[in-house]
Structure 1
Amino acid sequence: MTDRVSFSYAHVVDKPVPPLAHHRRDMGEPRVQLPDVVMLIVDDCTLHRENLAAMFALGAHTVPAVAWDLPSLIASLGERTPEIVLLNMGTHGSVGLLGSIRQRYPDVKVIAVGISDDDESIIVACAEAGVAGYHLRTESLDDLIKLISKVIEGESACSPRVTTILLKRLSALAAQRQPVVKEPVLTSREIQILGMLELGLSNREIADHLCIALHTVKNHVHSVLTKLGASTRTEAVALSRTVHYS
């Protein structure tokens, strides 16, 4: 038993260890080229923030700026204007930080990171603030890099689940809107004839009173009924007393 353990230990020690670079693929090195943009990473988890910043700094000309709360955010924004902001929505006060970013730089492209696809309130809040993209917790670093590339090109991107939530929100807002009531627009002659209908005058009496042809009166009466949505003269008269028309 002792010899077997010693042999195993020696075998491991004697085996050459490959350079760290050989392990980068296993450690999660992205298969998509990192974009070289002025970037700000906002995350109050130091480990996440530093790891992501280090990853984006590889081969980039500009090292990403970082922030973790409002004071550090204001300081970072004061140094340079970012092209892309990665905001972890799990950060304390993330919605307020998002508002601060949008207020200071309304044209900056913000990507909401760490979104849970069942957190509808955060997704809607991000949409209302005008974020350019969503990166879900279940998505990879490669997915984030692809998303950044799309956003840089002027696209807005989100998962099918996020799209469904936003469409539901739009439908709910549409259902809450009060229908706009269109007032019937009558000509001066139609208003005049409607007034005579209220007096109970017949088509012949209206024609004689206005010195116009009988068929012209009939056309005007038909137009009045159509615009008021009435089927009879009596109904038109009733509607004229409850509807404001111009």
Structure 2
Amino acid sequence: MLCGAKVLIVDDCTLYRDYLAAVVVSHGAVVTGVAWDCSSLLACVDATTPGVILVDMRTRDSEMLLRRALQSSPAAGVVVLGVSGDDESEIVRCAEAGVAGYHLRAEALDDLIVVIRKVAAGEFLCSPVISAILLHRLSSLASQRQKPGRDLVLTAREIQILSMLEVGLSNQEIAARLCIAVHTVKNHVHSLLTKLGVSSRAQAAALARTILPDENPI
């Protein structure tokens, strides 16, 4: 049973929306409202405090409605419905948006009740199919992440500057040591960060020991 869970349903098919509302109520939930577009969604969120928002991804402008649901009611757990297990890109987009649960087209009604109950309790829940897709996505991102290695080519000047970053010198101090303009140093540092695949000087300095020759005089 759903033990009074407050549920908001977002679906532009009246028949399916009404059926879903009747089903969750029969399992002990309270339907705080139904929505079918942006204005009705925002009106429902303003008037109630749903604990779970069900978004049918077959609804027109579903991705926009999903974002609005997450933004307008951050305390609610959002569950997406009607997603195909073969649509990896949609599953990943929903995960990146911040959904708390999935109910695939091939899954049963009892599975949906379990998802709603878990999400209402503050948990994240998805099927093994979803888990496998998300893990595969994480693995792909990890393999694509740029890592400095044997193929990394730094100029002599970049090696000098990287060694100075390693010991914590500022752009002004590097410019003074190399007798070059500060903006030139900034350009070299930007190039270094890009080549190393990092976003900060501290990260570049941390990688310096694995990249620079054992003896690299500053």
TM-score interval, smaller chain: 0.5 to 0.7
Q: Note if 1:141 corresponds to 2:109.
A: yes
Q: What is the CA–CA distance in structure 2 between the aligned matches of 1:35 and 1:86, rounded to whole Å?
A: 17
Q: Note if 1:151 corresponds to 2:114.
A: no
Q: What is the CA–CA distance in structure 1 between the aligned matches of 2:121 and 2:213, rounded to whole Å?
A: 51
Q: What is the CA–CA distance in structure 2 between the aligned matches of 1:82 and 1:147, rounded to whole Å?
A: 15
Please give the root-mean-square deviation of Cα atoms over the aligned residues, in Å. 2.8
Q: What is the CA–CA distance in structure 2 between the aligned matches of 1:63 and 1:143, rounded to whole Å?
A: 18
Structure 1 stretches of 5 or more lacking a match?
1-32, 187-224, 231-235
Residue number among 53, 56, 63 corresponding to 1:95 in the alignment: 63
Q: What is the CA–CA distance in structure 2 between the aligned matches of 1:227 and 1:172, rounded to whole Å?
A: 25
Q: Report the alpha carbon displacement of residue 58 of structure 1 after superposing the two structures with TM.
A: 3.0
Opposite residue 141 of structure 2, the aligned amino acid is L
Structure 2 stretches of 5 or more lacking a match?
150-161, 168-208
Q: What is the CA–CA distance in structure 1 between the aligned matches of 2:3 and 2:124, rounded to whole Å?
A: 17
Deviations 1:88-147 (A, max 9, x none): 111111111011111112221001111110111110111011111111111111111111
Opposite residue 36 of structure 1, the aligned amino acid is G
Q: Report the alpha carbon displacement of residue 153 of structure 1 after superposing the two structures with TM.
A: 2.4
Opposite residue 124 of structure 2, the aligned amino acid is S
Q: Note if 1:79 corresponds to 2:47.
A: yes
Q: Note if 1:45 corresponds to 2:48.
A: no
Opposite residue 51 of structure 2, the aligned amino acid is E
Q: Report the alpha carbon displacement of residue 61 of structure 1 after superposing the two structures with TM.
A: 7.2
Q: Note if 1:114 corresponds to 2:98.
A: no
Aligned to 2:174: none
3-state SS of 1:135 partner: strand
Q: Report the alpha carbon displacement of residue 47 of structure 1 after superposing the two structures with TM.
A: 0.9
Aligned pair count?
165
Q: What is the CA–CA distance in structure 2 between the aligned matches of 1:226 and 1:165, rounded to whole Å?
A: 34
Q: Note if 1:174 corresponds to 2:142.
A: yes
Q: What is the CA–CA distance in structure 2 between the aligned matches of 1:227 and 1:138, rounded to whole Å?
A: 50
TM-score (norm 2): 0.67
Aligned to 1:30: none
